[in-house]
Amino acid sequence: MKISKELKVALLGIVALVILYFGFMYLKGSDVFSDSRRYFVVYDNVDGLAVSNPVLLNGIQVGSVQKMRLMTEKDNKVEVQIEVLKDLQVGDSTIAALGNSDLLGSKAITLYLGNSTTTFDGGETLIPFTQSSITEMISTKTVPIIDKVDTTLARVNRLLDSEAKGNLQDILANTKATTASVNEILRSNQKNINQITSNINQLTNSLIRTQRHIDRLALNMAEITDTLKQVEINQLVHNANEAVKELQSAAAQLNSAEGSIGKLMHDEELYENMNRSTQALNLLLRDIQAYPKRYVSFSVFGRKDKYKVDETGRVITLEEVKELQERHPEEFRTVPDTVYVPVPKGNGVQGAAAEPAQNDSTGIK
């Protein structure tokens, strides 16, 4: 069968139309062979957004912008129609954020699915959100800085008027005169400056020599320290510990009731007995000093002695003894024949009598 030229032209035209349609849809970003759903988003401003701009999810394109319509009945807001894959779980908490897709300012819509309680089937309106672009952030930060720069420049211009210029020239002239004066002072005191430099050099040399002495002293101290380390410190510490232990043992014995000193410190009865014995002995010694002839009688010529011995052992006359008895009668015992000396009760003797010696001219009894 022979095909006519007219039929060939018709078939070629149909194929061209189909290819044109699919090409146009591809250029729009629509996938003709895949299922998709359409949703709507209403923005206040879509500056930079165009049809066929991508719709992203986690950085991957899942759809595109299909249509934009100005809603004059709703304060000139813009309704954007997007087409996304059917498999996406788009719901009531899904957010469609309009923002930049690159540094050049190209716009794209980014989806944030969220935890939706209701899943959309297509045709619903999503939650809009507009992200700040880099240009907006830079403008927000730089506008105040530019204002401050303008204010500063205006102040500088006011300072640089005719009067300020004259003041600046005066300041520069004064600075120049001050610099010349300083140079003149330096030239006139050059000798002193050289002397100061020489003194500083001498001081530096002295410090260097002093440092050598200090190093030698440090070396000597290190040698002394090493010598002290070699001393038998442990033996000295051991001896000191032994001495302390002996002192502690002696103190423990004194605190206990053992031994003579311990009993004397802790036995109240022994202390009272020794105290009474001491008192009795003291009384006996005083009586012997007051009346020595009661205990010892010695005569060569058969006459009575007219002297006695006082408490300190000094020989005194009988008249002085009588005078002392009259002044201090309580210090003398007036018993003529017997002196009672108290003794401790533990000895079983209540008292002892010392028989005085008789005044006899024949000798010692």
Nearest one of 106, 40, 29 to 71, comparing CA atoms: 40
126 in the same domain as 56: yes
**pTM metric for this prediction:** 0.35
245 and 299 fall within a common domain: no
Count structural domains, the chain: 3
Per-residue model confidence as pLDDT tens for the chain (365 residues): 567 777 778 888 888 888 887 777 666 655 555 577 889 999 998 888 888 888 999 888 888 888 899 998 888 999 999 988 888 888 889 999 998 877 777 889 999 988 888 888 888 999 999 887 666 677 777 878 888 888 888 877 776 666 666 777 788 888 988 998 888 888 888 888 888 888 898 898 888 888 888 888 888 888 887 776 666 666 777 788 889 988 888 777 777 766 667 666 666 777 788 888 888 888 888 878 777 766 665 444 444 444 455 555 555 666 776 777 777 777 665 544 444 444 444 443 333 333 443 443 333 33
* Domain-embedded: residue 70: yes
One domain for residues 253 and 295:
no
Cβ(82)–Cβ(64) under 8 Å?
Answer: yes
Q: Are residue 41 and residue 126 in the same domain, yes or no?
A: yes
Residue 181: how many CB atoms within 10 A of its CB? 10
CA distances from 337 to 8, 287, 363 (A): 186, 12, 19
Is 96 a member of any domain? yes
Q: Is residue 315, in this structure, part of any structural domain at all? A: yes
- Residue 153 domain-assigned (yes or no): no
Q: How far is CA 361 from the centre of its chain?
A: 102
Range of 250's domain?
Answer: 239-266
Of 103, 135, 167, which closes a domain? 135
Residue 312 corresponds to which tokens in the numbers above? 């300190």
Q: Which residues contact 342 (CB under 8 A, 6 or more apart)?
A: 276, 279, 280, 283, 351
Closest C-alpha among 126, 59, 62, 54 to residue 96: 126
CA distance 69 to 44: 12
The last residue of one of the domains, among 105, 135, 165, is 135
Number of CB atoms found within 10 A of residue 266's CB: 14
Q: What is the DSSP letter of 243?
A: H
